[in-house]
Structure 1
Amino acid sequence: MENIAILTVLGPFIGAFIIACLPYSMSRFLGVVVSLFASIGIALLGYLLLNSHEVSYHFILLNIGETEVLGIVTDKVSTLIGFAVVFLGFLICVYSTAYLTKQNREHPHEGTKRYYALLMVFIGAMAGLVLSSTLVGQLLFFEITGGCSWALIGYYQTAKSQRSALKALLVTHIAALGLYLAASWLFVETGTFALTSIAQVNDTAKIIIIGGILFAAWGKSAQLPLHVWLPDAMEAPTPVSAYLHAASMVKVGVYIFARAIMSSGHIPIIIGEIGMVLSAISLVYGFVMYLPQTDMKRLLAYSTITQLSYIFFALSLAIYGFGTVYGKMAFEGGIVYIFNHAFAKSLFFLVAGALSFSCGTRMLPKLKGIITVLPLLGIGFCVAALAISGVPPFNGFFSKYPIFAAGFGLFNGNWLIMALLIIILIESVGSFAWFLYWFGKAVPGKPSDDVANASPVPFAMKAVIIILIVMSLCSSVIASLWLN
């Protein structure tokens, strides 16, 4: 298991080096192969864990004296989220082979081996972060993902994309200071960087360490006021937006916060209260900001901010309800939300990319009658909108329901929780209404000129969209069965 985990992390890095040395025609194929093998690796880790008699495995990779610096942990949470980020990396790579061509009507551009090499590094860094058992490991891969995001957001080399890339790099690097603080404080208190040692420190130290992790998570997951990089990051190629800004990079924040909660035992309730209040504020802000958007990708960017707020709220609620059945429900709801949202939001972004490819635009007012000319994209638009809005039987419903159930279960006269739940419920209904509005404007009806003149969607893009439609129906079942 240790060797498979190491190969899953290092394989994409090695693949990136080889891709950089090969001609472009071969780099596309190798990128698909490397990401596929990484997906098989993480799936195999899950299979071995399932067939073992242990809840988790911990392997130390690097010790300096008595200090654990780097290590790997495989359990149900790390393998579930690891599978999502690595498998979606594979799907994005397949999609990119068709999207990054001169047939793309909005961005006619033949891809480069630089793109696939950076994508492989990003996949490897995500696998490494999810499997890391120490704060130093998380910090290392946190910074690598930041560097890759800078390069991929600025991929088109325009002045605007390079400004957006620099903004993303600076904001997320500022956020990383929280992890530096947490790692340093943990080492001073315990003499190690192992996440499990957080449980050994006193409440004051826990507030500082987990507060630092929460600050890093807040910036990486684009929460108010550290959200400013995400909408501008939509200058990246759409497959990059789908992977970095829906499936993986923004999930780094909520994941490291969840891993800290798993490792810390009892956490001072003030962390949960701060997390709940701030996430509710970010949620309302994101909702208000995506209402005026007509660029499909910018709308989805603000929607992502809102959806990540749900996850932060669930994890913070779990701290508040520590030791209760409702606290456990809130935590597992947050983990399932990470998994489900990765597939549903990636679907929405890739539908936007396919519309851009075929119609030459992703501006919603110019899109009408999609279902008539491009039926698969119309279905994908509908499924993604319903999934993100939390309509059963799609995966978003099974993400939101446990959060509300846990919140009402933990109410017990606490009017702060009730007030926040009411706000979140209103947003949930409002987001459904807004996505339904744009669905009615864009999908049915007589095709607009841009849609009527659409070019065919390539097979690779269609195949990926079909897989994501299926996962938007099935991912919640997979996650629930896996965790329980």
Structure 2
Amino acid sequence: MIWKISMNLISMLFLLCGSIMSIILSIYELMFSKCYIIEWEIISLNSSVIEVCYIFDWMALMFLGFVLFISSMVLYYSGSYMGGDYNINRFIYLVLAFVFSMGILIISPNLISILLGWDGLGLVSYALVIYYQNEKSANAGMLTVLSNRVGDVAILLSIGLMLSLGSWNFLLSSLYLTDQQNLLMKFLIVMAAMTKSAQIPFSAWLPAAMAAPTPVSALVHSSTLVTAGVYLMIRFSPALLNSKVQIFLLLVSCLTMFMSGLGANFEYDLKKIIALSTLSQLGVMLSTLAMGFSSLAFFHLLTHALFKALLFMCAGVVIHNMKEFQDIRYMGSLSKFMPLTSMLMNLSNLALCGTPFLAGFYSKDLILEVAFMSWINMISFLLLVLATSLTVCYTFRLIYYSLSGDFNLISLSNVSDDDAVMSNPMLGLSMGAIFGGATLSWLIFPEAYMICLSPFMKMLVLMISLIGGMIGYLMNLMNLNSNLYSLSFYNIVVFSGSMWNLPFLSTFNMSMMNLKSGNHIIKLCDKGWSEYLGGQGGFSYLMTNSSIGQMLQDNSVKVIMKIFLMSVIILLLL
């Protein structure tokens, strides 16, 4: 036990020191407008240079600092949450590998070197999702890794298309990409970001990935895996301006926001509700990018990471105390037994809703007001407004079912706030949820945005938030479920609650027959004829011919002639 806790604390301290250094360097570079780039040329072929390139600008270092800070808090938290696990050392190694992959992705401006972090995230996320070795986790892990492979293929294809530019540095290339020559490459990069950030139609894997341990969910759904696609698009954002891909990304992200917000209002699994809220916020970030405000998207990315990690940690404490129950209908009145956790959970929920002067308010309110001023069409505007209202609605529904409302705890629950190892990192993140938004807004936007809106549009965000909160809390307080009103609209409820049938469509036709036929194809083609006529066949052919050539080169003509003559004599004698 001493080794487990000490390894946990050493990892936490190491990441925390790295986080402090990264944030200090980021502020230094931001103040003095500096940027450091490290390049290592591996090979130059036909004017295309294959190189490893890392960039240390204020954006990369600030995001890296936030990732390391949240990871250190998660590792400290895991010391208690995963304390009874026999394989906790393996868990910590996997989390560290996950953080390392994300760090490589953050500082790589090169499409080839970014693959190391991009594929590393996909591989380690699979290992973490199947950490609890059961059938549900195996299915969720397979859905996660296969969905992410679509994005990996898109990155590989765009590497091939970028060969014509003579460089794979997308940070520089994105400044002069045009729709006439590079529309396909832009679409592939957007497709890669959509798969990693789980936009429609790749949304099914994100709630399924909740099969992973809760500390992993706090890390994955706040600052690492799902934000990798958003971060890639922030770096690639100059190529989106005045492009056809921009409109496509805006509609898809707004639809994803609406779909996930609607689905969360019909969900009863605590972790899946929070996962769907993550999906909604990813839609906010990508829609902001599609409107051309990459700095605002990055601002919301950082503030969201703080309060979402805190929300998942609070959910983990609740689940841990509820003896691994995740159904919110088995909870209720937790504020009487867990005042600290309830306070922090309310804090993170209110930050998610954009309550004034918490972290989420500074980014969400600014994003919505800038969106109301911009060129978006009526469909995107309505989806944006409805998604904002639904966010507050499912948040207050969650507060009713878990923290207030009726007492529904089972008799075996021993619910308390006694565990300091789990409470301390939550208190650390709560400071970020309170002060993070204001501090970041002063750093990133030293000069204020000029917002010109009518009084109605200015008050619209507050009005829809209040209406959503009242619907979410009062409709459940009136206990409409007991009267089974939802059965009157059964088809609508099932369609909305199942993420518009995306989980079914994502796994459609994945039957045992198809898997067996795939196995036959691998045996016949990949390991059969393609090997015989391809790699292995070519190798044996070259080895045979080279041995004959070597014998001729050794001046063995006399020996060959003697053998030939002796064989002729033997044939004549016979």
TM-score under structure 2 length normalisation = 0.72
Alignment correspondent of 1:338: 301
Deviates more, 1:194-203 or 1:115-124: 194-203
CA 1:62–1:482: 2 relative to 1, 3 Å = farther
Work out which of the residue numbers 415, 420, 425 in structure 2 matches 1:454.
415
CA–CA separation in structure 1 for the residues paired with 2:271 and 2:402: 15
Residues 223, 309 of structure 1: 8 Å contact kept: yes
Deviation at 1:194, TM superposition (A): 4.6
Shift of 1:25: 5.3
Say whether 1:118 aligns with 2:118. no
Q: Secondary structure of the residue that 1:61 maps to in structure 2?
A: strand
Letter in 1 for 2:383: I
For 1:442 and 1:149, the matched residues in 2 are separated by 29
82, 85, 104: which one pairs with 2:67? 85
2:398 is the alignment partner of 1:435 = no
* One-letter code aligned to 2:399: F
Moved more, 244-253 or 77-86: 77-86
Alignment partners' CA distance in 2, 1:346 and 1:276? 26
Question: For 1:384-413, what per-residue CA distance to the aligned partner results, in whole angstroms no more than 9, with x for missing partners?
Answer: 2111122212222222222222222223xx
Q: Root-mean-square deviation (CA), in Å?
A: 2.2
Instruction: Report the CA distance between 1:196 and its aligned residue.
Output: 0.8
> Is 2:78 aligned against 1:96?
yes
User: Identical aligned pairs, as a percentage?
Assistant: 22
Distance 1:483 1:63, change over 3 A: farther
Per the TM alignment, residue 448 of structure 1 is displaced from its structure 2 partner at its CA by 3.9
Q: Deviations over 1:100-131 (max 9, x none)?
A: 023xxxxxx34421111111111111111111
Q: 2:377 aligns with which of 417, 421, 439?
A: 417
Aligned length: 439
CA contact (8 A) 2:296 2:363 kept: yes
420-429 vs 203-212, which deviates more?
203-212
How far the C-alpha of 1:38 sits from its partner, in A, is: 2.9
Q: Measure, in 1, the Cα distance between the counterparts of 2:5 and 2:432.
A: 30
Query: Does residue 198 of the first structure (1) align with residue 181 of the second (2)?
Result: no
Whether the 8 Å contact between 2:35 and 2:55 is mirrored in structure 1 is yes
2:313 to 324, 336, 350: 350
How far 1:40 sits from its partner (Å)? Answer: 3.4
For 2:427 and 2:203, the matched residues in 1 are separated by: 31
- Counterpart of 1:248 in structure 2 is 224
Secondary structure at the counterpart of residue 135 of structure 1: coil
SS at match of 1:246: coil
Decide whether aligned partners of structure 1 residues 25 and 354 sit closer, same or farther in structure 2, where only a CA change above 3 A counts: closer
Deviation at 1:179, TM superposition (A): 1.2
* 1:135 has 2:111 as partner: yes
What's the counterpart of residue 56 of structure 1? Answer: 35
Contact 2:78 2:215 (C-alpha < 8 Å) held by counterparts: yes
How far residue 142 of structure 1 moved from its aligned partner, in angstroms, is: 0.5
> CA 1:192/1:443 → structure 2, altered by over 3 Å: closer, same or farther?
closer
Structure 1 residues 58, 100: closer, same or farther in 2, change over 3 A?
same
Spell out, residue by residue over 1:127-175, the C-alpha distance to the aligned partner (whole angstroms, 9 max, x if none). 1111112111222210001111001111111221122112111110111
Distance in structure 1 (CA, Å) of the matches to 2:27 and 2:42: 28
Structure 1 residue 302: deviation in Å? 1.4
How far is the alpha carbon of 1:460 from its aligned partner? 1.8
Please give the per-residue CA displacement for 1:401-435, whole angstroms capped at 9, x wherever unaligned: 22222222223xxxx53431222112211221221
Deviations 1:444-469 (A, max 9, x none): 35654349631444212101111222
Q: Report the secondary structure of 2:241's partner residue.
A: coil
Over 3 Å counting, the alpha-carbon distance change for 1:446 and 1:88 in structure 2 is same
Match for residue 404 of structure 2 among 430, 438, 444: 444
Sort the Cα spacing of 1:72 and 1:191 in 2 relative to 1 into closer, same or farther, 3 A. Answer: closer
Taking the aligned partners of 2:114 and 2:86, their CA distance within structure 1 comes to 34
How many angstroms apart in 2 are the aligned matches of 1:250 and 1:340? 15
Higher CA-based Rg: 2
Over 3 Å counting, the alpha-carbon distance change for 1:111 and 1:475 in structure 2 is: farther
Among candidates 340, 351, 354, match of residue 376 of structure 1? 340
Shift of 1:83: 1.6
Structure 2 match to 1:6? none
Matched, 1:273 2:247: yes
Structure 2 equivalent of residue 42 of structure 1: 22
Unpaired segments ≥5 residues, structure 2: 446-574
CA contact (8 A) 2:36 2:57 kept: yes
- Over residues 217-267 of structure 1, what are the superposed CA-to-partner deviations in whole Å (9 max), with x where a residue is unaligned? 1001111111111111111100001111232110001000111115x4x73
8 Å contact 1:190–1:201 — kept in the other structure?
A: no
Contact 2:193 2:228 in 1 (8 A): yes
Return the match for 2:361 from 397, 401, 412. Answer: 397
Distance change in 2, residues 1:26/1:202 (3 Å): same
Work out whether residues 341 and 388 of structure 1, in 8 Å CA contact, stay in contact via their aligned partners in 2. Answer: yes
Calculate the TM-score normalised by the size of structure 1. 0.85
What SS does the corresponding residue of 1:449 show, helix, strand or coil? coil
Q: Secondary structure at the match of 2:175?
A: helix
Structure 1 pair 389–358 and aligned structure 2 pair: CA distance change class (3 A): same
SS at match of 2:279: helix
